[in-house]
Amino acid sequence: MEIPYTVDVRPDTGLSNGKFGVWLFLASEVMLFAALFSSYILLRVGSVEWPHGYEELSVPMAFFNTVVLITSSVTMVMAWASLKMNDFGKFRLYLGLTILLSFVFLIVKYFEYSHHLHAGEGPWHNTYYAIYFTITGLHGLHIIGGIVVNAYLWGPGAKMWQTAKERFTNRIEIAGLYWHFVDLVWIFLFPVLYLL
């Protein structure tokens, strides 16, 4: 017996295993970031003084990064759409762009971090920077994870397109769901840390 519904959907749930699995995983990630946001709220509300985001951090850099990440979400979904339209070349282009934009995001983050660290504003400096580095750091780790997955699917993993088109398209959709989630977290992170 083979494991069913790896590609086809189960009739009564309408889901394939992988899609259901990734949504469950994302639900757990929501709780992870919920805990971090909750920590931020508790620490900020309980503090004697707490700076505004725009006083400490670079809004223009983060604004640029927000645009970069949202664009990468568009290129990610376009990669999937290209496969649905049977255009492997376009898929490669869009997924490649997604990976490139992810690197841009990380490079900007690197400049942001090194600026603060050189100024002595590390996580040890005060609780504001502690939570800033921790939340953005964990988000950054998620970006790196996404890059690894996307790079695999762009490179060696893309061989599956030759032998199992539908299954490969599914994998891109699932990777996309994860990537959009990473973007979604940033959509909340950006105003909370930088603008308030």
Partner 1 sequence: MDNVTTAGHAPAGSHAHGHTSHAHVDHHEQSFVTKWIFSQDHKVIGIQYTLTALLFLLFGFGLMALMRYQLAFPMQPIPVIGSLLGAANAPGGIMLPEFYNQLGAMHGTIMVFLGVVPLAVGGFGNYVMPLMIGAPDMAFPKLNMASYWVYFVGGCIMLASFFMPGGAAQSGWTSYPPLSVITATNGQTWWLLGMICLITSSLLGSVNFIVTIVQLRAKGLGFFRLPFFVWAQFVTSFLLLLAFPPLEAAGVLQLMDKVAGTSFFLPSGLVVGNRPLDISGGGNPLLWQHLFWFLAHPEVYVLILPAMGIVSEIIANNTRKPLWGYRVLVYAIIFLGFMSFIVWAHHMFMTGMGTTMNSFFQTTTMIISIPSVIILSALFLSLYGGSIRYNTPMLFALAFLPMFGIGGLTGLPLGLAPSDIHLHDTYYVIGHFHYVVAPGTIFALLAGIYYWFPKVTGRQMNEMLGKLHFIGSFICINGIFFPMFIQGLHGVNRRLYDGGVQYAHAQPVLHWNQFMSYAAWGLMLFQLPFIFNFFWSIWKGKPVGSNPWKATTLDWAATTSPPLAHGNFETAPEVFHGPYEYSVPGRAQDYLPQNQRD
Partner 2 sequence: MDAHAHSVDDIKKSVKTYMMVFGALMVLTIITVGVSYVHLPVVAAVTVALIVATIKGSLVAMFFMHLLHERKVIYWVLMLTVVFFIFMMFVPLLTNSNKIPGTTPGTMW
Of 186, 113, 114, residue with least CA distance to 146: 186
> Is residue 21 within the footprint of partner 2 (CB under 8 A)?
no
**Residue of 63, 103, 110, 152 that binds partner 2 (CB under 8 A):** 63
For residues 5 and 64, which CB has a smaller minimum distance to partner 1 in the complex? 5
160 part of the interface to partner 2, by CB under 8 A? no
DSSP 135-175: HHHHHHHHHHHHHHHHHHHHTGGGGHHHH-HHHHHHHHHHH
Q: Does 176 bind partner 2 (CB under 8 A)?
A: yes
Which one among 18, 61, 77, 92 touches partner 2, defined by CB under 8 A?
77
| C-alpha distances out from residue 99 to 56, 61, 147, 151, 186, Å | 29, 19, 6, 7, 17
CB of 173 to partner 2, least distance (A): 8
3 is a contact residue toward partner 1 (CB under 8 A): yes
Structural tokens at position 158: 């893309």
74 binds partner 1 (CB under 8 A): no
Q: Footprint of partner 1 on residues 16-35 (CB under 8 A)?
A: 17, 20-21, 24-25, 27-29, 31-35
d(CA 116, CA 20): 40
Residue at token pair 């809004």:
59
Residues 151-180, interacting with partner 1 (CB under 8 A): 159-160, 163-164, 167-168
Q: Of 57, 68, 73, 105, which lies in the binding site for partner 2, with binding defined by CB under 8 A? A: 73
Which range of residues in 10-18, 58-66, 88-96, 98-106 is near partner 1 by CB under 8 A? 10-18
| Residue whose C-alpha is closest to residue 178's, from 9, 18, 71 | 18
